[in-house]
Amino acid sequence: MKVILKEDVKNLGKMGDIVNVAEGHARNFLIPKKLAVEAVTGNIKELEHQKKVIQEKAKKQKDSAQTLSEKISSLNLFIKAKAGEEEKLFGSITSMDIAAALKNEGIDIDKKRISVEEPIKRLGSYTVGVKVHPEITTQLNITVIAE
């Protein structure tokens, strides 16, 4: 079955693409969640008109993600944690802790978008990756201090 994607769908295509999918996938998942519409003649004609709107929407999303990326990269985040001797933490700093600290700064990022290379188990400065858009990844500076 041919469908027109209304939003980016992972492993399927980008917004505005006409793709072939299994009929059950389209009827049970894509169309009810408003991720796609059936590619019939009327919808294809409407797609030509909508492509400009879709491209503008994608450009706005990318621009806002770029702005957020610049804000995150300029931020130096301080996280307080309990530490023992030799500056070792009791536990570790996880992506969930980083997401909560970012939320306190007014930036709402899902913890799944924060990639911590190695577990943070000591006091000090660290750099972690934050994926703000499928095409835009930025670095966040974190300083872990003792409580």
For the sheet with 2-5, list strands across it.
Answer: 18-20, 2-5, 36-38
Question: For the chain, how far is it from start to end, CA to CA, in angstroms?
Answer: 58
Q: Is the pLDDT of residue 89 over 80?
A: yes
Nearest to 39 by CA among 56, 16, 9: 16
Same-domain status, 77 and 45: no
Q: Where in the sequence is the domain holding 86, given as residue range(s)? A: 69-146
Q: Is the pLDDT of residue 126 over 80?
A: yes
Which residue pairs from 127-132 have beta carbons closer than 8 angstroms and sit at least 24 positions apart in sequence? 128/95, 128/98, 130/69, 130/72, 132/65, 132/68, 132/69, 132/72
> Alpha carbon of 11 to those of 14, 125, 137: distances in Å?
9, 36, 19
Check residue 133 and give its pLDDT: 87
Q: What are the tens digits of pLDDT across the range 33-84?
A: 988 988 887 777 777 777 788 788 889 999 999 999 999 999 899 999 999 8
CATH of the domain at 138: 3.10.430.100
Same-domain status, 137 and 77: yes
Percent of the chain with pLDDT over 90: 45
Nearest to 71 by CA among 144, 143, 136: 136
| Average pLDDT over every residue of 105-113 | 90
Q: Please identify, among 64, 84, 117, the residue that sits at the C-terminal boundary of a domain.
A: 64
Same-domain status, 30 and 98: no
Provide the domain count of the chain. 2
Extract the tokens encoding 122: 């000591």
Same-domain status, 84 and 128: yes
| Average pLDDT over every residue of 98-117 | 91
Same-domain status, 24 and 90: no
Q: Is the pLDDT of residue 32 over 90?
A: yes
Under 8 Å between Cβ of 43 and 27: no
